[in-house]
Amino acid sequence: MVSRKSTFFEQGPGQLLAAYNFLKKNRHLIMEMTMRDLRDRYVSQWFGLAWSIFHPIFLVVVYVGVFQFVFKVRLADIVSLPGDYTSLVISGLIPWLALQESLPRGTTCITGHAALIKQIAFPIEVLPIKSALATMPTVIVLTTCLFLYNFFTGTLPPATVFFLPIYWILMLGFFIAMNFILGAVGVFMRDIKDFIQLVFTAGLFLSPILYLPDTVPSWLNAIFYANPLSYVIWPHKDIVFYGGFAHPVAWIVFITFNILLLLLGIRLFQKLKPKFGDIL
C-alpha cells in the first residue's frame, strides 16, 4: 500500500475552504496538466486540437438537422417561445455534450495515471480536477456557435447571458464532484465507464433537450424531473434561451445538489484513496 499524507480536504465543516486553499496552492500544476491533457488527447492525429472544435459542432449540426429538417419541427405551429427551435436545441445540447464528454473521462481519471498514483509526493486530487477543466473548451466552443447562429439569424442573445460565468462555475463544480466519485469508484469497478456510456446512449431522449415544452406526455415529464442531469440542462436553457428564470426550482436543486455532491465526492475519495496504490 502507498501511504500518503492527506493533501486535500480534511474532515469537518471546513472542507470547502480547504478545497479552495488546495486549488490556490496547486493552480499552476492543475493548469499545466489540463493543457497536457488537451494536447495528449489528439496526439499523432492529423487535425490535432481541431477535433475538439469539429467534433461537438458536427454533433450539434446532426441533431439540429434531423429534428428541424427531417422531422420539420416548427415552434410557431405549436408553442410560443422566445427563439427558434435550433436555438432551443443547442441551448440544451451544450451542457449535455459537455456531460457526455466529462463523465466517461472521469471514470478513468485515476486508473489512467497509475504511475502518478504511486508517487507519494504527487497530489492525486489534481487528476479529477484537471479532467473536469479539460471539458470546458467544448462548452466555450459550442456557446460561441450558439452566439454566431443568433448573430446570423438576427437574434440578440438574452441579457441573462451575463450570468454564464456563474453557471460555468457551477457546471465545473458538478464535473469535479462527479469525477471524484466516478474516478474513485472506477479504480475498483472498471466497467463503470461502460455503464455511463450506456446511460448517455438513451439519456438524450430522456432529458429535456430535443422536446418542446408543454408538448410531451406526463410520464415523460416525470422522467425529466427524476433525471438528475435535467437540473444541469434547465438552468443553461434559462440563461441562453429563455432569458429568465423559467425553471427556478431547477436552480435551487442544481446549487444544492452541487454542494452536497461535492462534499460526498470529497469524503468518498478520501476514504478510498489509501487503497488506490494496491489496486493499481
CA distance 88 to 81: 9
Residue 8 is assigned to a structural domain of this protein: no
| Predicted pLDDT at 164 | 94
Residue 88 is assigned to a structural domain of this protein: yes
Q: Quick check: 210 and 89 in contact, CB under 8 A?
A: yes
Q: Please, how many CA atoms are within 13 Å of residue 271, restricted to the half-sphere of its CB?
A: 9
CA distance 74 to 186: 43
Give pLDDT tens digits along the chain (280 positions): 444 444 455 554 566 677 777 777 888 888 888 888 877 766 555 555 566 677 777 877 787 777 666 655 555 555 667 777 888 888 999 999 899 888 998 898 888 887 777 776 778 888 999 989 888 888 988 898 888 888 888 888 899 999 999 999 999 999 999 999 999 999 998 888 888 988 888 888 889 988 876 777 888 889 999 999 999 999 999 999 998 888 999 999 999 999 899 889 988 998 998 888 778 6
Residue 7 is assigned to a structural domain of this protein: no
Number of domains composing the chain:
1
Residue 237 is assigned to a structural domain of this protein: yes
Residue 197 is assigned to a structural domain of this protein: yes
CA distance 139 to 134: 10
pTM recorded for the entire structure: 0.84
- Domain that residue 202 falls in: 15-279
| Predicted pLDDT at 72 | 58
Residue 3 is assigned to a structural domain of this protein: no
| Predicted pLDDT at 52 | 64
Residue 55 is assigned to a structural domain of this protein: yes
CA distance 127 to 229: 23
| Predicted pLDDT at 115 | 78
